[in-house]
């Protein structure tokens, strides 16, 4: 019985499928093979995409210009910083287009291995520091001075902070001196490692929504700051060399000049793509705008780049190779 | 923890010998408490975040020198580079077939229609028409979600990783099945491959095999190959003796014995190994995306950067669906392998084979030739709906449930986790080490105690003793929750097949949904905390424990349960007096597997506030100077796993002289 029904069903399905397909197959466009011809002398240009939106904004704009103006074939590779730097030596990565400090990597790959070179500033300034949600800055105006942090330590107590105030740290990719800072500034706080940027963002977002206290490590430019404008706590001002000994740091983080790093062979070849990367320079506002298109307006990086480039032809002109 | 309670419950079976043991355990624990209260906080071996030991520096140097030799060393030039070339070619070939533009075409060779048709046809040929429909539906869903190409990239990489895993895994498994020596030799290697966190070897892999499909595939198969080896060996080993002896008595050679008796009789188990290999490979999709592996993993990681839970969920659903389809098809194929053909008579089946084959071939031709059958038509709004739905649910939950869940978090943390952590991590290391070794000797045996002693030594040597104890506390709490859930839901499912049918897909989803998808919701509900890490571990580990308990309860002969009911037992008595005691082996296996699965989530825990070993591994992956320390933390996780596993096994063996085969 069951097999009989099965047979009927199967036969029916197969007949109707064949019929339907034959009918529909008559229409529709055929697939043409593409010409593999490359235009221009740019060739293939490989950008590493480090995992944050601001970086993606830089990369998307550079890629868009390289493709449309210079006729390059752009390959994007999603990689963490370390692995991207490794790629310079093996010829698998041409450029990193937003680099936060990383003196250790610069020493290893630029000075020792000589596989990478610096391609100058992106024009974007990076600020790292301790932040509180805006409602706290309003309610406790003097909290933005580190001298008062101990006064408020009990507000920041959690199950994780062992009876002290909690200072939340994020993605371990970023430079942090926070444990040393807490110790050297005599603060009654415990560093708790969130371990990832999404966890950190979620903590700040919830703190602002529910008016809960949170003190955490954050950085600018970051798209989240245009959703909630976190307020920076002032640590003792940075002075040249005050962070030389990581054990004894007792000052704020320096302002980072975010720069571009390219592979040595890419720079030596001095092709149009290299010249574009070398000339590329814009501002925090520019990057934030493109990052906002991506993170909040849900555009793809390509669409976001196209939109910005159309509105900023003059800036783009200045990046193009002079020939 | 869970193990001791279980051994305690077994006193009933052999009263005389056992009376002293629980007493000794209690005495040891009491002594420990007293010593702890006196010595608390001494010799904890804490290591500050940024501090490295000599071992960590040395590991950094080793890593650097490997990188420096890659252009000169013959191992690279003639060995690693060759492997890379072969792997790259394989993946690129499969991608060209189903995922990426290739051979001068703007689209892959086979479009969506061809893939759906071929997959359904193959499912029908090797399994049955029910799973063929499931496969067709599942694959069409990828298109409707707007994730066709990403899904095919993931499928291509998974297929290659599984193919290579089986190519080497099955022969190695057969060898481990027939040779005891090889079996003993390879078991610790497999343990290492399965419990070493992937984050630890991602960066070195890209150094050796470069950035690209080869590294991603190799990362995947390191994790996916062990099940193939283990289960094949298990299959060969559990072939009953009589048929093999019968073959021998006819004077069969060793080869004949293998091909005529062992292999055919373990066919079903070996197909199960294929199934587990596929599942393990899919579990690596998101992590491999961190080194540029194409596919759904990338979608998840990108969405995470903008905390876009909806988009991540949509891609996560595609991974879950792919896993369920492949699981059901291979499981059905293994049943088929055992039972032979379906219920159709052979002549009709041959006709249908040819008929459907033609349909599939025709669909493939269409998808090769016409654009509409190649690129999935636009207008699949399903992805949008799924993603908006997930976002809405998350927002609602964090607005309405957060107070409740925060209460749960605080309760468990203060009542259970903090005291346990204080006990484990604030005991002097030598006291804690002695307690572990003695406990292993008491509830297990001397061999387990020896293994525990070596493991304690390694943990101290890693420089991460204190972090290891904090991680151990979280692991024990998570395992306790997993076992509790396993017993409660497992018994419920085991007693009713209707409940089973409803819950099983949920469990499958919990097991295969990438943890990266639920990181943000977990943090939203339980904030950045060790408890969030525990929750992530439980979501992943509980399904396994529940399934094992449910299967164990179901395996009890119905007549036994009926007899108990007839004798006047009520439901509660039937469960506690008959079903749970009889499913004891399953409970032990569930505890053991739950523990291993919890440990495999330690690193994910590091991303939501667990600190300790998990965070060290993540930090080692992110910062070059911390690489050595991350590697040491990875090894510490492996060591913890081996230590707990060996103690639990010894305890199980001791309390039951007929140990069941322990398969993973």
Give the ranges where B15-80 is alpha helix by DSSP (H).
15-18, 20-39, 54-68, 74
Predicted confidence at residue B15, as pLDDT, reads: 46
* Count of domains for chain A: 2
B53's CB contacts (< 8 A; 6+ apart) are B47, B463, B629, B632
Interface with chain B: mutation pick from A98, A179, A199, A292, highest number of B CBs within 10 Å = A199
- The CATH topology of domain B73-394 is MetI-like fold (1.10.3720)
Chain A, residues 228-247, CB within 8 A of chain B, namely 246
Give the residue from B265, B260, B238 showing the smallest Cα distance to B249.
B260
B343: nearest CA in chain A?
A3
Burial class (CB in 10 A: 0-12, 13-18, 19+), A193: buried
What digits encode the pLDDT tens for the residues B322-367?
Answer: 999 998 898 888 787 777 655 667 788 888 888 888 988 888 888 8
Q: Are the C-beta atoms of B267 and B210 separated by less than 8 Å?
A: no
pLDDT, tens digit (0-9, with 9 covering 90-100), for B252-290: 777 787 777 788 878 777 887 888 899 889 988 889 998
B585-600 b/e (C-beta count within 10 Å ≥ 16 → b): bbbbbbbbbbbbbbbb
Residue B381 pLDDT grade (very low, low, confident, very high; cuts 50, 70, 90):
confident
CATH number for the domain including A193?
A: 3.40.190.100
**For chain B, what percent of residues have pLDDT higher than 70?**
94
Domain coordinates of chain B in residue numbers?
2-47+401-655, 73-394
Identify the pLDDT of residue A3.
46
In terms of domains, do A138 and A223 share one?
A: yes
Domain limit, last residue, from A165, A200, A233: A233
DSSP β-ladder status, A165-169 and A116-132 = unpaired
As to burial, measured by CB atoms within 10 angstroms (0-12 exposed, 13-18 middle, 19+ buried), residue A305 is buried
Residue closest to B368 by CA, chosen among B100, B156, B104, B114: B114
Nearest to B624 among A14, A82, A198 (CB): A82
What is the maximal distance between C-alpha atoms in chain A? 88
H/E stretch holding A33 reads none
A222 and A279 in a single domain? The answer is no
What average pLDDT is seen over chain B?
86
How many whole angstroms separate alpha carbon A172 and alpha carbon B22?
45
Token code pair at residue A304: 């976001």
CATH number of the domain located at residue range(s) B2-47+401-655 in this protein: 1.10.3720.10
Please, which residues bridge with residue A262 across strands?
Answer: A95, A117
3-state secondary structure B73-123: CHHHHHHHHHHHHHHHHHHHHHHHHHCCCCCCCCCCCCCHHHHHHHHHHHH
Rounded Cα distance between A153 and A169, Å, is 16
Residue A191 has pLDDT above 70, yes or no: yes
Is B613 at the interface with chain A, CB within 8 A?
Answer: no
Q: Which of B298-312, B326-340, B460-474 has the lowest mean pLDDT?
A: B326-340
Q: Which A positions 125-144 lie with beta carbon below 8 A of chain B?
A: none
Name every chain A residue with its beta carbon within 8 A of the beta carbon of B205.
Answer: none
Which of A14, A113, A194 is the closest to B609 by Cβ? A194
Identify the CA nearest to B387 among candidates B286, B324, B315. Answer: B315
C-alpha pair distances (Å), A247 with each of A183, A192, B220, B495, B600: 9, 18, 39, 61, 33
Q: In sequence order, which ranges of B127-147 are alpha helices (DSSP H)?
A: 129-144
Which residues, in sequence order, are CB contacts of B184 under 8 Å at separation 6+?
none
Which residue among A29, A82, A210 places its CB closest to the CB of B622? A82
Q: Are A140 and A93 contained in the same domain?
A: no
Stretch B25-34: mean pLDDT: 90
Contact state of A31 with B523 under an 8 Å Cβ cutoff: no
CB contact under 8 Å between B101 and A34, yes or no, is yes
Element containing residue B145 per DSSP (H, E): none
Record the tokens describing residue B14, joined without a space.
Answer: 């052999």
Read off the pLDDT band of B371 (50, 70, 90): confident
For A140, residues 6+ apart whose C-beta sits below 8 A from its C-beta are: A148, A152
B505 pLDDT exceeds 60? Answer: yes
CB-based contact B232:B273 (threshold 8 Å): yes
Q: Which pLDDT value is given to residue A308?
A: 95
Higher per-residue pLDDT: B56 or A5 = B56
Query: Is A281 part of any domain?
Result: yes
Confidence of residue B112 (pLDDT cuts 50, 70, 90): confident
Please indicate, yes or no, if residue A299 is contained in any of the structural domains: yes
For residues A81 and A63, membership in a common domain is answered with yes
Confidence tier at B106 by pLDDT (50, 70, 90): confident
* A110 and A170 belong to one structural domain: no
A168 and B528 within 8 Å at the Cβ level: the answer is: yes
> What is the pLDDT, as a whole number, of residue A166?
94
**Is residue A111, in this structure, part of any structural domain at all?**
yes
What's residue B2's pLDDT? 35
| Two tokens, residue A117 | 């070179």
Question: B527–A33: do the CB atoms touch at under 8 Å?
Answer: no
- What is the share, in percent, of chain B residues with pLDDT greater than 90? 38
Q: What is the separation of C-alpha B591 from the centre of its chain, rounded to a whole number of angstroms?
A: 14
Q: A28 at the B interface (CB within 8 A)?
A: yes
The distance of A195 to chain B (nearest Cα, Å) reads 4
Tens of pLDDT, residue by residue over A248-293, are 889 999 999 999 999 999 999 888 999 999 999 999 999 999 999 9
Which of A36, A81, A199 lies at the smallest CB-CB distance from B608?
A199
Q: What is the DSSP string of B440-459?
A: HHHHS-HHHHHHHHHHHHHH
Instruction: Confirm if A89 and A105 have CB atoms less than 8 A apart.
Output: no
List pLDDT tens digits, range B207-225: 888 888 899 999 999 999 9
Tokens matching residue A32: 């043409």
Q: Which domain holds residue A277?
A: 44-125+257-319
- Tell me which of A234-243, B227-236, B377-386 is least confident: B377-386
Q: Indicate yes or no: CB of A34 within 8 angstroms of CB of B619.
A: no
Based on the fold, state whether residues A140 and A187 are members of the same structural domain.
Answer: yes
Residues of A in contact with B50 (CB under 8 A): 179-180, 246
Residues 56-75 of B with CB under 8 A from A: 64, 67-68, 70
What's the gap in Å between the CA of A323 and the closest CA on chain B? 33
Q: Which two tokens stand for residue A17?
A: 């499928």
B389 touching A (Cβ < 8 Å):
no
Whether residues A119 and A145 share a domain: the answer is no
Tell me the Ramachandran region of residue A105: left when phi exceeds 0, alpha when psi lies from -120 to 50, beta otherwise: alpha
- Where do runs of H (alpha helix) occur along A187-281? 197-210, 264-269, 272-279
User: What pLDDT is attached to residue B12?
Assistant: 44
CA distance linking residue A268 with residue B320, whole number of Å: 47
Q: What is the pLDDT of residue B639?
A: 94
Helices (H), B528-626: 530-554, 558-566, 571-573, 580-582, 584-599, 602-606, 612-622
Report pLDDT digits (tens) over B146-202.
899 999 999 999 999 999 999 999 999 999 988 899 999 998 899 888 889 999 998
pLDDT (tens digit, 9 = 90+) per residue, A61-74? 999 999 998 889 99
- How many CA atoms within 13 Å lie on the side-chain side of B151? 28
Shortest Cα–Cα distance, A222 to chain B (Å): 10
User: Of the candidates A14, A21, A34, which has its C-beta nearest B104's C-beta?
Assistant: A34
Q: Which of B68, B104, B355 comes nearest A33 by C-beta?
A: B104
Cβ of B106 within 8 Å of Cβ of A31? The answer is yes
Give the 3-state secondary structure of B170-203: HHHHHHHHHCHHHHHHHHHHHHHHHHCCHHHHHH
CB contact under 8 A, A206 and B413: no
Interface of B with A in 293-352 (CB under 8 A): 298, 301-302, 304-308, 343-345, 348, 352
The residue of A38, A116, A195 whose CB has the most chain B CBs within 10 angstroms, and thus the best one to mutate to test that interface, is: A195
Give yes or no for a contact between A130 and A232, defined as CB atoms under 8 angstroms apart. Answer: yes
Distance from CA of A275 to the nearest CA of B (A): 25
Total residues found in chain B within this entry: 664
Q: Does residue B174 contact residue B237 with C-beta atoms inside 8 Å? A: no
**A229 and A133: one domain?**
yes
Gap between the terminal Cα atoms of chain A: 81
What lies within 8 Å, CB to CB, of A277 at 6+ separation is A62, A94, A95, A97, A119, A260, A262
Question: Which range among B409-418, B495-504, B558-567 shows the weakest confidence by mean pLDDT?
Answer: B558-567
Chain B nearest-CA distance from A98, in A, is 16
Give contacts of A83 with chain B, Cβ < 8 Å.
202-203, 206, 211, 291
Establish whether domains B2-47+401-655 and B73-394 are of one fold.
yes
Residue A28 has pLDDT above 70, yes or no: no
Q: Are residues A194 and A143 in the same domain?
A: yes
Q: What are the C-alpha distances in Å from B259 to residues A182, B179, B248, B263? A: 68, 16, 12, 5
Per the CB < 8 A criterion, the answer to whether A171 and A195 are in contact is yes
Domain boundary residue, one of A233, A265, A293: A233
Residue A22 lies in a domain: no
- Closest residue by Cα to residue B366 from A15, A29, A35: A29
Alpha-carbon distance B623 to nearest alpha carbon in chain A (angstroms)? 6
Q: How far apart are the first and last CA of chain B?
A: 21
Instruction: Tell me which DSSP letter residue B136 carries.
Output: H
pLDDT in tens, B602-651: 999 999 988 899 999 999 888 888 889 999 999 999 999 999 988 988 88
Q: What is the pLDDT of residue B383?
A: 84
CB contact under 8 A, A159 and B531: yes
Question: What are B64-102's pLDDT values in tens digits?
Answer: 887 777 767 777 777 888 898 999 999 999 998 888 888
Using CB atoms, pick whichever of A87, A193, A199 lies closest to residue B611.
Answer: A193
Q: Find the CATH number of the domain harbouring A121.
A: 3.40.190.10
In order, the DSSP letters of A279-315 are H----HHHHHHHHHHHHTS---HHHHHHHHHHHTHHH
């Amino acid at each position: 019985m069951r097999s009989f029904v099965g047979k009927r069903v199967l036969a029916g399905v197969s007949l109707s499928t064949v019929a339907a397909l034959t009918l529909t197959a008559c229409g529709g466009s055929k697939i043409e093979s593409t010409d593999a011809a490359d235009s221009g002398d740019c060739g293939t240009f490989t950008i590493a995409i480090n995992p944050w939106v601001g970086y993606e904004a830089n990369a998307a704009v550079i890629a868009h210009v390289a493709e449309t103006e210079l006729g390059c074939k752009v390959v994007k590779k999603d990689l963490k910083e370390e692995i991207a730097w490794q790629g310079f030596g093996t010829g698998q990565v041409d450029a990193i287009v937003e680099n936060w400090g990383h003196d250790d990597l610069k020493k290893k790959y630029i000075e020792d291995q000589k596989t990478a070179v610096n391609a100058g500033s992106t024009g974007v300034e990076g600020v790292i520091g301790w932040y509180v949600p805006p409602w706290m800055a309003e309610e406790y105006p003097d909290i933005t001075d580190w001298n008062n942090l101990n006064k408020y330590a009990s507000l920041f107590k959690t199950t994780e902070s062992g009876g002290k105030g909690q200072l939340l740290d994020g993605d371990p990719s970023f430079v942090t001196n926070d444990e040393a800072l807490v110790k050297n500034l005599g603060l009654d706080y415990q560093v708790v490692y969130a371990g990832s940027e999404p966890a950190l963002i979620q903590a700040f977002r919830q703190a602002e929504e529910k008016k809960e206290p949170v003190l955490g490590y954050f950085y600018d430019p970051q798209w989240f700051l245009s959703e909630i404008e976190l307020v920076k706590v002032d640590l003792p001002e940075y002075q040249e060399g005050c962070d030389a000994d990581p054990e004894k740091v007792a000052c704020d983080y320096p302002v980072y000049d975010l720069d571009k790093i390219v592979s040595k062979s890419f720079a030596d070849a001095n092709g149009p793509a290299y010249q574009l990367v070398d000339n590329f320079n814009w501002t925090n506002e520019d990057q934030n705008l493109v990052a906002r298109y991506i993170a909040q307006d849900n555009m793809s990086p390509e669409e976001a780049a196209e939109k910005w480039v159309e509105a900023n032809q003059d800036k783009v002109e200045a990046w193009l190779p002079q020939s | 923890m869970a193990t001791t309670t279980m051994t305690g419950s077994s006193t009933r079976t052999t009263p005389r010998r056992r009376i002293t043991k629980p007493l000794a355990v209690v005495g040891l624990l009491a002594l420990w408490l007293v010593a702890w209260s006196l010595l608390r906080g001494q010799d904890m071996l804490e290591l500050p975040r940024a501090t490295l030991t000599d071992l960590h520096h040395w590991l950094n140097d080793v890593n650097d020198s490997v990188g420096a030799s890659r252009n000169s060393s013959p191992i690279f030039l003639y060995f690693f580079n060759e492997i890379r070339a072969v792997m790259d070619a394989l993946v690129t070939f499969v991608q060209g077939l189903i995922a990426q533009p290739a051979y001068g075409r703007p689209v892959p060779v086979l479009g969506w229609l061809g893939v759906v048709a071929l997959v359904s046809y193959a499912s029908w040929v090797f399994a049955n028409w029910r799973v063929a429909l499931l496969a067709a539906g599942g694959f069409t869903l990828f298109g409707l979600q707007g994730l066709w190409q990403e899904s095919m990239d993931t499928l291509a990489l998974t297929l290659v990783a599984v193919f290579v895993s089986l190519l080497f895994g099955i022969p190695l498994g057969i060898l481990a099945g027939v040779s005891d020596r090889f079996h003993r030799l390879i078991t610790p290697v497999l343990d290492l491959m399965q419990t070493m966190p992937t984050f630890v070897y991602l960066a070195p892999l890209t150094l050796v095999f470069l950035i690209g499909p080869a590294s991603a595939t190799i990362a995947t198969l390191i994790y996916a190959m062990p099940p193939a080896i283990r289960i094949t060996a298990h299959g060969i080993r559990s072939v009953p003796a009589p048929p093999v002896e019968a073959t021998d008595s006819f004077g069969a050679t060793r080869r004949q014995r293998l091909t005529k008796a062992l292999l055919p009789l373990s066919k079903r188990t070996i197909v199960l190994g294929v199934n587990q290999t596929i599942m393990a490979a899919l579990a690596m999709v998101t992590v491999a995306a961190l080194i540029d592996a194409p596919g759904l993993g990338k979608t998840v990681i990108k969405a995470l950067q903008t905390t876009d839970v909806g988009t991540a969920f949509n891609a996560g659903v595609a991974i879950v669906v792919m896993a369920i389809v492949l699981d059901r098809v291979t499981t059905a194929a293994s049943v088929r392998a055992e039972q032979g053909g379906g219920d159709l008579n052979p002549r009709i089946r041959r006709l249908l084979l040819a008929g459907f084959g033609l349909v599939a071939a025709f669909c493939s031709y269409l998808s090769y030739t016409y654009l509409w059958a190649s690129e999935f038509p636009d207008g699949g709004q399903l992805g949008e709906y799924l993603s908006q739905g997930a976002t809405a649910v998350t927002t609602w939950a964090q607005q309405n449930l957060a107070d409740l869940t925060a209460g749960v978090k605080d309760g468990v943390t203060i009542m259970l986790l903090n005291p346990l952590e204080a006990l484990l991590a604030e005991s002097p290391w030598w006291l804690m080490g002695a307690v572990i070794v003695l406990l292993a000797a008491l509830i297990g045996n001397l061999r387990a105690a020896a293994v525990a002693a070596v493991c304690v030594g390694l943990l101290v040597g890693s420089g991460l003793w204190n972090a290891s104890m904090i991680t151990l506390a979280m692991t024990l709490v998570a395992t306790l929750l997993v076992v509790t859930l396993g017993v409660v839901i497992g018994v419920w499912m085991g007693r009713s097949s209707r409940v089973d049918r409803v819950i099983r897909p949920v469990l499958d989803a919990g097991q295969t949904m990438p943890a990266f998808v639920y990181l943000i919701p977990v943090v939203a509900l339980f904030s950045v905390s060790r408890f969030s890490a525990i929750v992530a571990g439980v979501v992943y580990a509980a399904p396994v424990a529940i399934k094992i308990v449910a299967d164990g309860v179901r395996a009890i002969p119905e007549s036994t349960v009926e007899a108990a009911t007839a004798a006047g037992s009520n439901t509660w008595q039937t469960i506690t007096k008959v079903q749970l005691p009889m499913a004891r082996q399953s409970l032990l296996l569930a505890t053991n597997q739950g523990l291993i699965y919890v440990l495999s989530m330690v690193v994910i825990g590091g991303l939501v506030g667990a600190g300790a070993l998990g965070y060290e591994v993540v930090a080692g992956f992110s910062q070059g100077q911390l690489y050595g320390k991350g590697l040491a933390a990875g090894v510490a996780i492996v060591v913890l796993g081996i230590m707990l596993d060996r103690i639990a096994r010894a305890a199980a063996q001791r309390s039951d002289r007929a140990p069941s085969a322990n398969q993973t």
